[in-house]
Amino acid sequence: MTESVPARPVTGRVLRTRGERVALRLDSRALLVGALLALASLVTAAITLTTGEYPLSVAEVLAAMTGQGDGGAEFIVLTLRLPRLLTALFVGAALAVSGAILQSLTRNPLGSPDFIGFTNGASTGALLVIIVVGGSMTQVAAGALAGGIVASVLIYAVSYRRGVQGYRFVLVGVGINALALAVNSYLITRADIYDAVSAQAWLVGSVNSRGWEHVAAAGLALAVLLPLAMSRSRALSMLELGDDSAAALGVGVQRSRAILIVVSVLLAGFATAAAGPIWFVALAAPQLARRLTRSPSPGLVTSALMGGLLLLVGDLAMQRLFPTAQLPVGTATGCLGGLYLMWLLASEWRGKARYA
């Protein structure tokens, strides 16, 4: 399955340094979409911080964030609401960039850490710590990161045949994903009731009760890995044309692919470590961003903004629609993601039937 993007004329301007050693093309539509997504995220954040069981004004929130508010407001904002909000923002952005990279490398809209095994591999690592070791939350996060890395190394090694091809990488990843899912089910069935409940709760994916350590982990990963991915954005665009075309244009195919896969794995691993496996954000956010920008190349920044917005809106909806139950945001992304997946498959099928 390959994705088609409506063609449009390239608009914008090119910024060049003196001597034209560095040139950067600015797409006006992508800039507009990015600005609107950032504004929507800001509005959602303001609603999240000011509403709820203890409503606050914008002035009270700002005073609490600068250390000039009263004790109650500072506790609500700095301990309860702001860490949860930032965790959702950073995790959503990290998952979206991870998905955008994989979808471009595999040239497949289903090329997502959810389907290729990274997320379930991370879940296996976390479940081993919860059920076998009985570790702390920090140890669970470390186990999730290690599990994602092990799964990615296994996928890369098995799919490597004089290089890694996108379709082979996807097929091997789907197999590893099924294997990890089976291991996860086995671990839960063999655990005692208390560990099984704890493991199942973690598997839903949630930003409830997240603290500043989760914000730091997801934010630092995004701050380091997103610029690294952006530095390879030209190679990523060229790889969408195929290995032969990319090599003819001067791209080091296998080296660039390996670096981008590592970036994608680490982003998905840190996101899962911070919030558990949150499904479908990595799948849907890059596709929605690409359709809004109508760009044939992967927009990593717009994908990040879209992913952060989706998770912010989903978590806000869970807080306000179910204030007493406090359902995890993974419930919302799972429901909406399932509907999105059905729409994506149906639209791809209609597109192929039209040209058959």
Q: Tens of pLDDT along 252-285?
A: 888 898 899 999 999 999 999 999 999 889 999 9
Structure tokens at 64: 């609490």
The residue ranking higher by pLDDT, 348 or 194, is 194
Number of alpha carbons in the 13 Å side-chain half-sphere of residue 272: 34
Q: How far apart are CA 111 and CA 258, in angstroms?
A: 16
Q: Please, which pLDDT band fits residue 21 given cuts at 50, 70 and 90? A: low
* 14 sits in which H/E element: strand 13-16
DSSP string covering 51-119 = -SSS---HHHHHHHHTT-S-HHHHIIIIIIIHHHHHHHHHHHHHHHHHHHHHHHHHT-TT-SHHHHSHH
What 3-state class would DSSP assign to 200?
helix
Single-letter amino acid, residue 115: F
Find how far residue 124's CA is from the centre of its chain. 18
Q: Please, which pLDDT band fits residue 14 given cuts at 50, 70 and 90? A: low
Q: Please, which pLDDT band fits residue 3 given cuts at 50, 70 and 90? A: very low
* 16 pLDDT more than 70: no
The residue ranking higher by pLDDT, 13 or 50, is 50
- Supply the pLDDT for residue 4: 46
* 111 pLDDT more than 70: yes
* 57 pLDDT more than 90: yes
Yes or no: say if 34 and 143 are a contact pair by the CB < 8 Å rule: no
* 101 pLDDT more than 70: yes
Structure tokens at 173: 């990843």
What 3-state class would DSSP assign to 205?
coil
- Supply the pLDDT for residue 46: 96
